[in-house]
């Protein structure tokens, strides 16, 4: 991926944390999803008083994009940490979000886990979700 686009994605994931709705965990996650046509969809986690109804930042970004008709994706950047602070560690996508990525993305889809603008780790989806569920 183009270095400028990667930088943009990382900044937009950190920015998306500001839109998180996390009054229960006070843990704000932001995601920035790059489509095959170069658009970026941002998402934050959206919590609920019934905790299981919470939606993760990554899925917010995916569902926004998919509901607008996007079906091709190149990369996602994800950043998470305590509310009101910069991330103190890497926040990896949960299993449900990895499964959702597997629904729409190829094994070489890039997942960038961000701690700070210059501190990130990059993975192929196949490394994070090697044996996802699929119907035969």
User: Which residues of the chain form contacts with ligand THU (CB under 6 A)?
Assistant: 22, 25, 27, 29, 45, 47, 54, 56-58, 93-94, 97
**Is 58 designated active site?**
yes
Through-space distance between the first and last CA atoms of the chain, rounded to whole angstroms: 32
SS3 of residue 38 by DSSP = coil
| Pick 99 or 126: Cβ nearer ligand THU | 99
State the alpha helices, DSSP H only, in 1-136.
3-16, 57-67, 95-104, 125-128
Which of 3, 11, 15, 58 does the annotation list as catalytic?
58
Structure tokens at 91: 């926040």
How many residues does this entry show for the chain? Answer: 136
Of 38 and 81, which CB lies nearer to ligand THU in the complex structure?
Answer: 81
Min CB(121)–ligand THU separation in Å = 14
Q: Which residues belong to the active site?
A: 58
């Amino acid at each position: 991926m183009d270095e400028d686009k990667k930088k943009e994605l990382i900044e937009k994931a950190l920015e998306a944390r500001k839109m998180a709705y996390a009054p229960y965990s006070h843990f704000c996650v932001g995601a920035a999803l790059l489509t095959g046509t170069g658009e970026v969809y941002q998402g934050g986690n959206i919590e609920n008083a019934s905790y299981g109804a919470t939606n993760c930042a990554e899925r917010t970004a995916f569902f926004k994009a998919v509901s607008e008709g996007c079906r091709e994706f190149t990369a996602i950047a994800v950043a998470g940490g305590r509310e009101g602070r910069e991330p103190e560690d890497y926040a990896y996508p949960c299993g449900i979000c990895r499964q959702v990525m597997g629904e729409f993305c190829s094994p070489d889809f890039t997942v960038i886990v961000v701690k700070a603008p210059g501190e990130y780790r990059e993975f192929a989806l196949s490394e994070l979700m090697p044996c996802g569920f699929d119907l035969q």
